[in-house]
Amino acid sequence: MSSLPEREEIEREYKWALESIYEDDDAWENAYESVSDRIDELAAYEGELTDDPETLLEFLERREELMRTVSTVVTYANLRKSEDTRNQEYQALSAKASTLQSDAAAATSYVEPELQTMDDADVEAFMEQEPELREYEHFFDDVLRMKPHTRSPEIEELLAELGEVTSAPSEIYSMLSDADMTFPTVEDPDGEEVEISQANFVRLQKNPHRPFRRTVHEEFYDEWETVRNAVGTALEKQLKKDVKVARARNYDTAREAALDGSNVPTDVYDALVDSVRENLDALHRHSELKRRALEVDELRSWDLYMSLTGEEGPDVEYEQAEDWIVEAVEPLGEPYQRRLQEGLDSRWVDVYENRGKRSGAFSSGTYDTQPFILMNYQDDVPSMFTLAHELGHSMHSELAKESQPWQYAGYDIFVAEIASTVNETLLTDYLLENAPSDEIRIHVLDQYLERFRSTLFRQTMFADFEHRIHTAVEDGKPLTPDAFDQLYGELKAEFYDPAELDDRIHREWMRIPHFYYNFYVFQYATGISAAAAVVERIRTEGEPASESYREMLRKGGSEYPLSVVETAGIDMTSPAPVESAIGVYRKYLDRAEDLLET
């Protein structure tokens, strides 16, 4: 029987180096107690920020000192919890860290309202008197920009204190899906017992044996059916939270509130959805190509993840994936390539799945730590691409930290998804030219097409769904699990025509954690569009384009996202990047069709 290992069975070299943050949990506890005792120092400045520039600078510097420690304390606790979500000790650490984060936010909730009593002239005068404040110019501009949506200090403090309460739907969903739910064990075509999990579901859906794929599909979604009321309630409460918080901040819609934090107009969101909808024929062509390649009369729900080759795909061991990714990023320059290799050697990555481990993949870390990447590596081509993706995020963080002060080292997701997808695209280019076999080339090409399908089209479908369900709440319409099924099922059928989909796929919304992230997913689609344009510039212009891209990464959050992306020569207010990306998708569909016919 194939069973997931326990955490302690994973070898050290495949675990991230959390001891580089704190030597042990006692050291974490000491850091927690130290910063917890000092949070009130920040509250003591209330009512004094605009008295004089010296006081304002003193506060900003002390805030940085304490919030950097808070961030590190919170990150360590959350990473430990992610290792095994069943571990109650780390659940408790994470809960304490969450409370600390909320307390810190509450202690500084007066900052924006106080600064917003100033105007541009007042801020300029402060910077003239205290030149070190000039470093915060973009921060001041962002704060004043949000004046219409900032409430009184009392309300801001209340909203901050409610942070750990309003995050409850997402946390409950995560505990249900990652810690409490167990999926059936099924017999694979070789007679081996395989336990279905969140992490291996997609891989099992790529098994060449079609009856087995159907069994996995049905067993997986039937298990979700047993928790449909809990998941439906969690999502509905998440939507209501988004809407109510937006209204509390004087926004007309939750979407407007979510995008305004990054100063991205909703027109960009609408343009993405419209452009993709106008080009659904390309996705339909992909579905039809897959149906022909699989030699089936109808493409069914359990066929959607299948390779165009009809095969599961070659194994790619983790060490091989590392080597290929490092070689693939050579166009980004030797320093970038060397730093990425050093990161892999420094155990940035928590590689393999273990029982209770959080599903999916992510890159994390703080200004004062190395990056940390959670993987559930499955020794296949998709896992290799996921590793390249997360390394793009980690390298983005490294370059931004090296170039920016603390307050600008972070960056918006709108920009982040470009960095991750550039790495994927470079990996595709490298392997299409240098892979040791045609088998790998064919699967890389298929993977690239699948990434376009799942990132540009699928994430836009998610974005459309997310907008519709938020709008339903804003219009006062009830949202039950059946209503979610209907809305999602209609979109799925529209996007994946000519596939013949079963009713179980209507429940797919239940397994998508991104719907708890408040209009997050559309940025995957804009990211892959911008990344395709960046790589095309690097192909044609070489090092100048590579340098402008690296400069984009180095800018972090020192400018608004659209301006940062423009550094790399990409205008995301135009439909051109999305249309260009779909053009690349069509080109690779042509190439795949040619390969399948030979």
- Number of other residues whose CB lies within 10 A of the CB of residue 592: 21
Token digits of residue 242: 């988004």
- Amino acid identity at 254: A
390 catalytic per annotation: yes
Three-class SS of residue 573?
coil
CA distance 510 to 118: 46
State how far the Cα of 452 lies from the Cα of 424, in Å rounded to an integer: 11
Per-residue tokens: 348: 């940035």
Q: Which of 41, 106, 103, 40 is nearest to 73 (CA)?
A: 103
Give the residue from 579, 569, 564 showing the smallest Cα distance to 541. 569
Report how far residue 51's alpha carbon sits from residue 239's, in angstroms, rounded to the nearest whole number: 40
For residues 233 and 480, the answer to whether their CB atoms sit within 8 Å is no
| Residue appearing with tokens 């990555």 | 349
The sign of the dihedral angle between the CA atoms of 444, 447, 453, 459 is negative
Do 54 and 132 form a contact (C-beta atoms < 8 A)?
no
**How is residue 133 written in tokens?**
């404040």
**Facing residues of 374 across strands?**
350, 362
Neighbours of 445 (CB within 10 A): 22
- Among 352, 388, 396, 351, which residue's Cα sits nearest to residue 371? 396
Task: Report the distance separating Cα 486 and Cα 505, nearest Å.
Answer: 11
Number of H helices, E strands in the chain: 28, 5
584 Cα distance to chain centroid: 23
Q: Which residue in 83, 156, 390, 398 is the catalytic one? A: 390
Q: Which residues contact 49 (CB under 8 A, 6 or more apart)?
A: 55, 56, 59, 110, 111, 114, 115
Q: How far is CA 390 from CA 18, 203, 522, 557, in A?
A: 17, 19, 18, 19
Q: How is residue 152 written in tokens?
A: 């009184």
Q: How far apart are CA 94 and CA 82, in angstroms?
A: 10
- Report the C-alpha gap between 589 and 595 in whole angstroms: 10
Instruction: Report the alpha-carbon angle 459-462-468, nearest 5.
Output: 145
Using omega within 30 degrees of 0 as the cis cutoff, is the peptide bond preceding 498 cis? yes
Q: Residue 421: which of 448, 378, 392 has the closest Cα?
A: 392
Q: Under DSSP, is residue 302 helix (H, G, I), strand (E, B) or coil?
A: helix
State how far the alpha carbon of 228 is from the alpha carbons of 57, 173, 321, 375, 421, in Å.
51, 11, 37, 27, 33
Q: List the catalytic residues.
A: 390
